[in-house]
Amino acid sequence: MPSKTILECRGVKKHYGALAAVDGIDLKIKEGETVGIGGPNGAGKTTFFDLISGLTAVTSGQVLFRDQPITGIAPHLLFQQGMARTFQVTSGFASLTVLENLLAAIIFGSGEERPGLFVRNQHRERAMRVLDECGLRDLSAHTVGDIPVLARKKLMVASAVVHDPSILLLDEPVGGLMPAEIDEFIQLMFKLRSKGICIVFIEHVMRFLTTVADRALIIHQGKLIYDGQPKGIAADELVRSVYLGSSASTLGGNAS
């Protein structure tokens, strides 16, 4: 297992007026690690992703991707350098097919200065390989607006991994899915993890977090209050009091 740091945060803060949405996070994430992030609504998890993916500028502190500060680097350039991200709200071009969505991600995420609109064989082959990996091949000709929510969520992941990222950031990938669908998503995560991709995800569904992650982080009021084994979350008094509370039982089974 490689142990090089792929992402580092040094005293990262984001203030919105008087609100400290992210309030001084120090962190190192290693290549190939799978890290699950939890925490109450409004804790600052998505804002934290916005900071590490270059979508939002830090108020103070520094984010380093492969030892280089990301300050001022646009998200699409970070994508070309191997940092891919999905969003909390399921997106995608609803009127295009699943395959066309993937082709768009491949062509426009390629980093070519003038990508053009021509679909080459290599684009199509890559798209079909990724669709296969993500269990979407049978839906390739379906319009995205017509496919089930599980498939749309898988498509977001598929679109993010088209250029073989070294780090993949997923914001609540299984929110709203049924337990059996979550199981299917877990298998997809295992597959991506086995390819050596570093996966960092935000998720309220504790069963998913504890099954997929080999390290858990809990954020509360913009601060990191837990960094350790996923199986230790339920026993941590502070985490229980501010986050899990009576829902600690969800660690065993259902979506929160």
Residues near Mg ion, by CB under 5 A:
45-46, 88
- Asked if 16 touches ligand ATP (CB under 6 A), the answer is yes
Angle, alpha carbons 181-184-187 (nearest 5°): 155
Query: Distance between CA atoms of 9 and 69, rounded to whole angstroms?
Result: 10
157 binds, among Mg ion, ligand ATP, none (CB under 5 to 8 A by kind): none
Select the residue interacting with ligand ATP from 32, 36, 44, 230 (CB under 6 A).
Answer: 44
Could you give the angle at which helices 121-133 and 149-160 cross, rounded to 10 degrees?
130
**Count of residues engaged in binding ligand ATP, rule: CB under 6 A:** 12
Select the residue interacting with ligand ATP from 6, 21, 51, 151 (CB under 6 A).
Answer: 21
95 binds, among ligand ATP, Mg ion, none (CB under 5 to 8 A by kind): none
Nearer to Mg ion, 15 or 163 (CB): 15
Q: How many CB atoms lie within 10 A of CB 183?
A: 14
Which tokens in the block code for residue 87? 């969003």
Which tokens in the block code for residue 33? 């690690």
Are the C-beta atoms of residues 103 and 119 closer than 8 Å to each other?
yes
- Asked if 39 touches ligand ATP (CB under 6 A), the answer is yes
Segment near ligand ATP (CB under 6 A), from 34-42, 64-72, 125-133, 243-251? 34-42
To the nearest whole angstrom, how small is the minimum distance from the Cβ of residue 88 to Mg ion? 5
Nearer to ligand ATP, 45 or 154 (CB): 45
To the nearest whole angstrom, how small is the minimum distance from the Cβ of residue 221 to ligand ATP? 9
Are the C-beta atoms of residues 222 and 20 closer than 8 Å to each other?
yes
Which tokens in the block code for residue 69? 């500060």
Are the C-beta atoms of residues 201 and 192 closer than 8 Å to each other?
no
C-alpha 214 chain-centroid distance: 15
- Asked if 175 touches ligand ATP (CB under 6 A), the answer is no
Residues that bind ligand ATP (CB under 6 A): 16, 19, 21, 39, 41-47, 88
